[in-house]
Amino acid sequence: MKTKDELITLLIEQVDEFNNYIEENIDNGVDLSEVDLSNITLADAVFNNVDLSSTTFADSHMTNVKFENCDITSADFTRSNLEECYFNGSILNGTDFSYAVVNYGSFNEADMAGCILQETDLTNSDLSTAYNLNACRFDDGTIWPDTDMLPEDFDGLYSSDLSSLKDDEDEVGNPDY
């Protein structure tokens, strides 16, 4: 078994060897949880059955990266640019995509409960078979794909709720002083 540091070096320097290692260890699963991969530029990597919980990918640029059947719980993708990335079958509970651009992403059968999509651009992404999209957090700055790329029961219209943390006083604008 390789250490996390050895795997990160492989990922950055020899992505094909990294992909081979992941494939060879798919039954055991690979642990890359709580790793800092912020500001990484990555193309053609395959994470299959990898534990990426609490890993940060903030401010990263990724193209054609596959996160298949991964645990990505509470990971950080804030301000990332993701082109043609796949999150199929992954657990994205509490994962933060705030201010990210996810263009042509695929979220087939991904569990998105608690996923944070505030100010996220999901243009052309396929969320049609994603689970628990109604349980994610988003705002009026979230850019959704066309409705045929969203679950039938999903309403992408933003409305204030407890997650907006507004007081009634803020709405009225009448100070108490």
pLDDT, tens digit, for every residue of 43-74? 999 999 999 999 999 999 999 999 999 999 99
Residue with token string 């043609």: 84
In the chain, % of residues over pLDDT 70:
89
pLDDT at 23 over 90: yes
Give the mean pLDDT of 115-143: 95
Nearest CA to 48 out of 86, 103, 92 is that of: 86
User: What domains appear along the chain, each with residue ranges and CATH number?
Assistant: 4-151 (2.160.20)
Q: Return the structure tokens found at 131.
A: 């689970």
Q: How far apart are CA 20 and CA 61, in angstroms?
A: 22
Neighbouring-strand partners of residue 138: 117
Q: Give, to the nearest 10 degrees, the angle between helix 15-24 and helix 4-13.
A: 130
Query: 19 with 39: CB under 8 angstroms?
Result: no
Q: What is the largest CA-CA distance in the chain?
A: 67
Q: What is the pTM of this model?
A: 0.86
pLDDT at 162 over 50: no
Give the mean pLDDT of 171-175: 54
Give one DSSP letter per residue of 129-152, joined into a string: T-BSGGGSEE-TT-B---GGGS-T
Q: Return the structure tokens found at 63.
A: 């193209």
Q: How far apart are CA 35 and CA 82, in angstroms?
A: 19
